[in-house]
């Protein structure tokens, strides 16, 4: 009796596992160099700062590098999901399973996260070596902030993928949103560097602004009160809720 009650949950987990293996583990084993591409831009920026001796901004650049790697890999949900729907028709297969598209999308997002892990590890080691961040609570905050970034950007990427109608639409928007989420907001630099208060407010339209500031606070680069920390955790969750609502309304229509 108990096994029958757990059967839907087990099928859901198996579907996630199958999707993660198909779109994450197996491709990574076949070509692990995929994980190097998202590292190049933040690593080049870090090298530029080091060459010119701008040491005070390097901790921010290390945090920005970790976030940009997560964003660059997560936003590829847009091209991956659209390619699977338009060319491979794989999503139709997952629709026929008990879990439907939800475990398929989660597995696809986890697969993209696997490609991000080597880059995150490299920047985390640099952060530990150069800044000396060793407190377990601080690393927990940073891990939580990166996880929220992955979830929100992956959900947004899947939402964008639903608008693709032709193969020429693939791989168009991922670079644009990578720049919009990683380099325009105060991710590689502190929020205080924005001189206009209105622009500071607009910066929070990007979910990475909140997560970057949380990580900067965990490193002791900025001082955060309890109220501000709560707002910073809440803001990306509001982003996620809005995207989830838009995605729910979108997938109810024929794609």
Q: What is the token pair recorded at 172?
A: 């168009």
Q: What pLDDT does residue 255 have?
A: 52
Q: What pLDDT does residue 132 have?
A: 72
Tokens 């076949």, located at residue: 30
Cα dist from 43 to 17, 22, 60, 78, 126, whole Å: 32, 29, 13, 24, 11
Q: What pLDDT does residue 89 have?
A: 80
Q: What pLDDT does residue 33 have?
A: 82
Q: What pLDDT does residue 156 have?
A: 95
What span, in angstroms and rounded, lies between the C-alpha atoms of 147 and 142? 9
Domain boundaries, the chain: 2-251
Torsion of CA 87, 245, 171, 19, to 10 degrees: -50
What tens-digit pLDDT sequence spans the chain (255 residues)? 556 667 777 778 888 888 899 888 898 888 888 788 888 888 888 888 777 767 778 889 999 999 999 999 999 998 888 888 888 887 777 766 666 778 888 999 999 999 999 999 999 998 888 777 667 788 899 999 999 999 999 999 999 988 888 777 777 788 889 989 998 999 998 999 998 888 999 999 999 999 999 999 998 888 898 999 999 999 999 999 999 999 888 876 555
Q: What pLDDT does residue 110 have?
A: 94
What span, in angstroms and rounded, lies between the C-alpha atoms of 133 and 131? 6
Q: What is the pTM of this model?
A: 0.90
Instruction: Give the up-direction half-sphere exposure of residue 212: CA atoms within 13 A in the CB hemisphere.
Output: 31
């Amino acid at each position: 009796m108990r096994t029958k009650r757990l059967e839907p949950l087990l099928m859901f987990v198996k579907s996630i596992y199958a999707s993660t293996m198909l779109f994450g583990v197996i491709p990574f084993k076949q070509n692990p160099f995929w994980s190097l591409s998202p590292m190049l831009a933040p690593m080049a920026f870090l090298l530029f700062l080091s060459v010119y001796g701008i040491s005070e901004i390097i901790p921010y650049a290390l945090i920005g590098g970790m976030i940009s790697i997560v964003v660059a890999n997560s936003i590829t949900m847009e091209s991956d999901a659209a390619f699977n729907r338009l060319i491979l028709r794989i999503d139709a297969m997952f629709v026929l399973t008990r879990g439907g598209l939800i475990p398929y999308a989660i597995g696809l997002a986890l697969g993209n996260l696997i490609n991000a892990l080597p880059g995150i590890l490299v920047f985390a080691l640099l952060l530990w070596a150069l800044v000396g961040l060793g407190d377990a609570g601080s690393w927990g905050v940073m891990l939580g902030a990166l996880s929220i970034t992955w979830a929100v950007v992956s959900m947004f990427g899947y939402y964008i993928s639903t608008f693709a109608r032709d193969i020429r639409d693939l791989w168009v928007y991922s670079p644009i949103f990578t720049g919009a989420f990683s380099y325009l907001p105060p991710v590689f630099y502190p929020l205080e560097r924005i001189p206009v208060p209105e622009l500071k407010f607009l910066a929070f339209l990007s979910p990475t602004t909140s997560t970057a500031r949380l990580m900067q606070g965990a490193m002791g680069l900025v001082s955060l009160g309890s109220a501000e920390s709560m707002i910073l955790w809440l803001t990306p969750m509001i982003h996620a809720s809005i995207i989830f609502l838009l995605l729910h309304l979108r997938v109810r229509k024929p794609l």
